[in-house]
Amino acid sequence: MPENFEKECISLQNGKFSKPFETRFGWHIIKKEAQKEIPLLNKIHEQVEKEVIISDRGNVARREAINKLKNIINLLIFRLWQMFGIMLTAPFLKQSGLQMSILICRESCLSLIIELIFRKIL
C-alpha cells in the first residue's frame, strides 16, 4: 500500500471523505466507514495458541515432531547396534503418551536399562 494512501486512511475520521490525492496508482477519494482496533499479539497469544493446537495445523506439527523423535530413536538404535553390537527391545505404547523401554544387552549380560518417555508435546 502506498505510504500516502495509508496516512490518509489513518488520519481520516469515521464517516468522513478525504480530499482527492494522488498515488502511483492514480487519484483517490476515500470514505472511512469505521476503524477496527487490532489487539496486540501478547494480549491474544494464549487464544491463538489454543486455536493452533486444536486446528489441523497443530496436529500436523505434532505428527512431524513425533516422526522426528522416532527417526532420532531409530538412528540411535541403529548406531548402537552398528558400533557395539548392542541389541535393543522394541518400543511399546502407553496411554500417557509414547513410552519406549530400551533394554541394552551385550555379551549375554544385562548392562543397562534406559527409559525414554515422551509426553504429549502440546
pLDDT in tens, 58-89: 677 777 887 888 778 777 777 766 676 655 55
For range 9-26, the mean pLDDT: 88
3-state DSSP assignment of residue 49: helix
Residue 36's pLDDT band (boundaries 50, 70, 90)?
confident
The CA distance from 115 to 113, in Å, is 7
Q: How many other CB atoms sit within 10 Å of the CB of residue 77?
A: 19
Q: Are 5 and 23 in contact (CB under 8 A)?
A: yes
Higher pLDDT, 42 or 103: 42
The answer, yes or no, to whether residue 93 has pLDDT greater than 60, is no
Q: Are 87 and 105 in contact (CB under 8 A)?
A: yes
Higher pLDDT, 82 or 20: 20
The CA distance from 22 to 46, in Å, is 42
The pLDDT of residue 103? 45
In this prediction the pTM is 0.32
Q: How, if at all, do strands 109-119 and 97-106 pair?
A: antiparallel
| Length of the chain counted residue by residue | 122
Q: Look at phi and psi of residue 26 and say left if phi exceeds 0, alpha if psi is from -120 to 50, else beta.
A: left
C-alpha dist (Å) from residue 106 to 39, 92, 109, 112 = 60, 22, 6, 9
Beta-bridge partners for 23: 26
